[in-house]
Amino acid sequence: MKKKITIAIDGHSACGKSTLARGIADTLEYTFIDSGAMYRGVALYAIRNSCLSKDILDVKRLISLLPELSLNFYKSEEGSCLYMGEENIEDEIRKPHVASIVSKVAVIAEVRKKLVAQQRIMGKDGGIVMDGRDIGSVVFPNAELKFFVTASKVVRSKRRFIELQKKGIKQTIEEVEKNLIERDYIDSTRPESPLTQVADAIVLDNSNMTIDEQLSWALQKVFEIISLK
Ligand code: DC
């Protein structure tokens, strides 16, 4: 049997990283982990535990409450879903009130330390496809295959807008674009594990690709690497 490799997928907000990661994982029968969901989970936890007042995050309080936070992925009918304790929070973490503060939560070193440690345990045996911002640079710097995914701002805003509409979440396309620009800026300029394109990542600009096209393109690279193992 071929060795099960580790595949790291990083890139900008709403560029289809998770869709690609899920597609690759399903094809290879690997584990798929959406690390952004975990940061969103911490943001939801902060909101629910009064760590936020008028958009100001009480970082000290959140750090003091982190040891009690339990986030885990479990399989459900809709696929892999994030749970906070016993509660499936997959829908809640996609809502705008969570998206609007998640980048502020993701800059906190203690938050990153906790989540990165958990992510490394999830990937210790390989056979994993994880997407995020620091997967190829920090979480799995020795991953056998790394992708850096991007797409134009207009395309990303449109895709996220349609996704939110389907879920019945009301936001204008301008609001969606503003949130993406803000998050990209914070994610790329923060001192702690900023979003970077590592030298050994394969770049994928999927602005003009369908979901199937990007999956076939990426799978070609995946099978090339696996055949060498
Ligand atoms: O992938 P996403 O948009 O669901 O991620 C939500 C936020 O979490 C994003 O704005 C940046 C942060 N994030 C991070 O800092 N590191 C990761 N590995 C994944 C996400």
Q: Domains of the chain: which residue ranges?
A: 6-219
What is the residue with the minimal CA distance to atom 10 of ligand 1? 103
The whole-number pLDDT of residue 1 equals 61
140 Cβ below 6 A of ligand 1: no
Best substitution site from 138, 187, 192 to test ligand 1's pocket, by max atoms within 8 Å of Cβ?
A: 187
102 Cβ below 6 A of ligand 1: yes
Using an 8 Å Cβ cutoff, are 110 and 59 in contact? Answer: no
CA distances from 99 to 74, 93, 175, 180, 213 (A): 22, 8, 11, 9, 28
Mean pLDDT estimate for the chain: 94
What is the residue with the minimal CA distance to atom 3 of ligand 1? 13
What is the residue with the minimal CA distance to atom 4 of ligand 1? 36
Residue corresponding to tokens 């790329």: 188
Ligand 1 midpoint to CA 210 (Å) = 23
pLDDT tens digits along 113-160:
999 999 999 999 999 999 999 999 999 999 999 999 999 999 999 999
| Cα atoms found within 13 Å of the Cα of residue 20, Cβ hemisphere only | 32
Token pair listed for 42: 């911490």
The whole-number pLDDT of residue 228 equals 82
Using an 8 Å Cβ cutoff, are 16 and 159 in contact? Answer: yes
pLDDT tens digits along 28-70:
999 999 999 999 999 999 999 999 988 899 999 999 999 999 9
For the domain with range 6-219, which CATH number is right: 3.20.20.70, 3.40.50.720, 1.20.1250.20, 3.40.50.300? 3.40.50.300
